[in-house]
Structure 1
Amino acid sequence: QKRLTNIAVVRMKKHGKRFEIACYKNKVVNWRNGVGTLVLTHTAACGGVPARLPAPQQLHSAPLAPAPPRPCPALPQVSDKERRVELDTLFRDVASVLSEKCINPESNRPYTLSMLERALRDVHFSVDPKRPAKAQALEALPLLKSRFPIERARMRLKLAVPLSSKDELLELVRQQGGVVEEQDLIGSQFCLVCLVEPGTFRSVHSFIQTSSGGMGRFEVLAL
């Protein structure tokens, strides 16, 4: 027997034989994604911790490393440790997206990553490993709003339209709940700096393209 500690054990089945591979955390997921290598030793085991090495006839009947060496066609299962690390990483990614895109409306400052992680656990939010972090962050936002003040940070836009479209632009920004920070006249153009909700980006951009006769300008100053 060979004692193995501080490792993750993944199982694979080949030619009706069951084997176990000892590897570090994240190695199986990295190997599946084509990053790095999976097997760091040439020894295969029949048991986990402590490891029980297979008999020679077992390896002959189900070779794990045929000559010449080539990628093993059997796909190891992801162990509980690997899955837990993957979920923890995705959970932190969701909290990171919230920290980047959301603020406290009372102070207009972002929340720290640790505060958002703790808040997500308080609302019992569970991540889905098959979905991107950004989409899950948007789903978690209503849950967090029920606990404390939080909202998506507004986009800061700089808009320029012909003077004839000034009133239409101001009305559009007002209808979308935007906040005008600066406005000025530069030659024959009306320039405006405003804060708008991210969901109104397309409507404002479409207005600049269609209503200004190709004379408008659109610039994102801050996300």
Structure 2
Amino acid sequence: MSRTLVQPVGQKKLTNVAVVRLKKHGNRFEIACYKNKVLSWRSGVEKDLDEVLQSQIVYSNVAKGVLAKSKDLKAAFGMDDQAKICLEILEKGELQVAGKERESQLSNQFRDIATIVMQKTINPETQRPYTISMIERLMHEIHFAVDPHSSSKKQALDVIRELQKHFPIKRSPMRLRLTLPQHNFEDSLAGKLNEWKTVIVSKDVSGSQLSIVCEMDPGLFRDCDALVRNLQGRSEILAISVHSEGNIDADHCDGHEDVSSSPLSTEPPKKSATDELTDKMKKQTLAPKSDPAEGSNQVKQNKCSTCDAIVGDAKQYREHFKSDWHKHNLKRKTRQLPPISAEECNADVELSDSKGNLNEYNF
């Protein structure tokens, strides 16, 4: 017995149908749902079942319109109530998505993973987090591929370990408050904190109790918490991820002489690993305008009218249209704003990334 789904007039067949499939008792059962509604239902956002299911009918093949047999439903589910069976398939079944929808889901999960990596890591020299755009570029550098069946947090931790092999990046410390008897701290905990290279922010003594605010590597939290409990104390998480505040240059240059400004210096300062990484990222931006009178034997240069800049030969010209700089100026052009330089674009992107993720730093 077959029953064809009613399709919208003027639409291609099955373009508006999302199929949820469940294999049970050796048979395949399918239900027809509306696109983008299944995930909303599973997350609890959508409450109206009629907004999710196109029909409360169980199929063995939605594409061909073949209904599931009643005896197969009873054998697999122990009943033939199609409304209840639809609910079970909706909860436990596998969502079949189209190529573009799957690509969109992977892109969103990639962004989520990059956000988690940004929140949990810092630049070891400046003690500040990298921007979300730089983290995404580094993930592309190591050829990271999203696994849709694994959680974003687990994949983010794997990405951090892989990035540490190639780039200057480390886990940002977590801030804890440890409260325990003072004599137990001197006898047992003090040595361990030194061994773990823990930074003690403050100490406060109240009677026989000692309260310590410290920052340590998140990977040591379980060991620290178990030790404090054994010492009749307690631990409290104040911040999952701690980043430095204030001017980056001031933090980075504090206590160091500015070699470049000295008139006696004859050699340029040696670049750190972080500086080399930053330079590597900047190479993805294009060079500023060149002087057309520098020689007649140069390769023909192309000019982008949107960015008002010379962008190089034909290959660089094609790559320019894919760059964030060009896309940013296109948006400005639609708002009748003048174009900006690549450096100004990078500053705008970093500023918007910082504002967009400001509320996610301390969770």
Contact kept in structure 1, 2:176 and 2:238, CA below 8 Å: yes
Q: Which of 152, 155, 170 does residue 190 from structure 2 map onto? A: 170
Contact kept in structure 2, 1:29 and 1:78, CA below 8 Å: no
Q: Which of 213, 219, 239 does residue 193 from structure 1 map onto? A: 213
Q: 1:172 to 1:71 in 2, by over 3 A?
A: same
Cα distance between partner residues in 2 of 1:12 and 1:198:
40
Q: 1:33 to 1:192 in 2, by over 3 A?
A: closer
Q: Which residue of 2 aligns with 1:219?
A: 236
Q: Which residue of 2 aligns with 1:2?
A: 10
Q: Secondary structure at the match of 2:150?
A: coil
Q: Which residue of 2 aligns with 1:137?
A: 156
Contact kept in structure 1, 2:198 and 2:215, CA below 8 Å: yes
Cα distance between partner residues in 1 of 2:44 and 2:229:
43
Q: 1:12 to 1:156 in 2, by over 3 A?
A: closer
Q: Which of 102, 106, 109 does residue 90 from structure 1 map onto? A: 109
Q: Which residue of 2 aligns with 1:156?
A: 175
1:62 deviates by: 5.8
TM-score when normalising by structure 2 = 0.45
1:181 deviates by: 2.2
1:110 deviates by: 1.5
Instruction: List alignment gaps of at least 5 residues for structure 1.
Output: 14-20, 42-53, 64-68
Contact kept in structure 1, 2:178 and 2:211, CA below 8 Å: yes
Q: Which residue of 1 aligns with 2:142?
A: 123
Cα distance between partner residues in 2 of 1:8 and 1:104:
46
1:79 deviates by: 1.0
Cα distance between partner residues in 1 of 2:16 and 2:143:
27
Q: Which residue of 2 aligns with 1:206?
A: 226
Q: Partner amino acid for 1:183?
A: K
Cα distance between partner residues in 2 of 1:160 and 1:34:
39
Q: Which of 182, 199, 202 does residue 202 from structure 2 map onto? A: 182
Give 1 or 2: higher helix fraction: 2
Instruction: State which drifts further: 124-133 or 156-165.
Output: 156-165
- Sequence identity percentage: 35
Q: Which residue of 1 aligns with 2:298?
A: none
Q: Which residue of 2 aligns with 1:45?
A: none
Contact kept in structure 2, 1:8 and 1:79, CA below 8 Å: no
Count of aligned residue pairs for this structure pair: 193
Query: Over residues 5-53 of structure 1, what are the superposed CA-to-partner deviations in whole Å (9 max), with x where a residue is unaligned?
Result: xx6775799xxxxxxx8965x3455467676535679xxxxxxxxxxxx
Contact kept in structure 2, 1:8 and 1:81, CA below 8 Å: no
Q: Partner amino acid for 1:151?
A: K
Cα distance between partner residues in 1 of 2:33 and 2:180:
64
RMSD, aligned α-carbons: 3.7
Cα distance between partner residues in 1 of 2:96 and 2:239:
44
1:148 deviates by: 2.4
Structure scoring higher RCO (CA < 8 A, sep ≥ 6) equals 1
Q: Which residue of 2 aligns with 1:113?
A: 132
Q: 1:190 to 1:62 in 2, by over 3 A?
A: closer
Query: Over residues 125-170 of structure 1, what are the superposed CA-to-partner deviations in whole Å (9 max), with x where a residue is unaligned?
Result: 0111111111100111122223322111111112222221122211
Contact kept in structure 1, 2:123 and 2:170, CA below 8 Å: yes
Q: 1:78 to 1:192 in 2, by over 3 A?
A: same
1:90 deviates by: 1.3
Q: Secondary structure at the match of 1:221?
A: strand
Higher-Rg member (1/2): 2
Instruction: List alignment gaps of at least 5 residues for structure 2.
Output: 1-8, 22-31, 56-62, 69-81, 241-363
